[in-house]
Amino acid sequence: MKLQLLVLVLVFLMASATSMEYYDCCEDCCGCWHPIEDINDTQVIEIANFIVTEINKQIGATLKFKKVIKGQSQDVAGTNYHLIISTTNFIPNVYDAVVYECPWEHVYDAVVYDCPWLHVRKLTKFVPVKHH
């Protein structure tokens, strides 16, 4: 009887682990990061422009948005957007020790939390990328 119960528990645990593993990888998983298929989508461009506007406001820079290089989104209570963007100019002093493959393109890694129904949009990460 104990052996049967042990086997039953092991089967249940293995089934649970398998289903959770699938859930972590599924397309519709809430909380998982997914690649943004269309980086030129109007919502993605709006978020990218928000990033540039917000960092210009926060530190007095004069960045000009050029393009989204790649991105991911994460559905939570709202959406996190993780974008790699490029600008046509740069933030002085941040780049003093950074070497680029493309000196005319300055690349940043940024994350924005967006929750439209609460009217919240917040830049949570903004760092220069050495190479992309």
Residue 27, pLDDT > 50, answer yes
What does the pLDDT read at residue 129? Answer: 87
Name the class of domain 31-128.
Answer: alpha beta
Does an H or E element contain 109, and which? strand 106-115
Residue 67, pLDDT > 60, answer yes
Domain ranges of the chain: 1-29, 31-128
35-39, 87-91, 128-132: least confident range: 128-132
What does the pLDDT read at residue 88? Answer: 84
pLDDT average, residue stretch 85-97: 65
Distant-in-sequence, close-in-space partners of 111: CB < 8 Å, separation ≥ 6 = 80, 81, 82, 83, 123, 124, 125
17-26, 34-43, 91-100, 109-118: least confident range: 17-26
DSSP 2-64: HHHHHHHHHHHHHHHHHHHHHHHHSTT-TT-EEE-S-TT-HHHHHHHHHHHHHHHHHH-----
Tell me the residue type at 48.
Answer: A
Contact predicate 111/82, CB 8 Å: yes
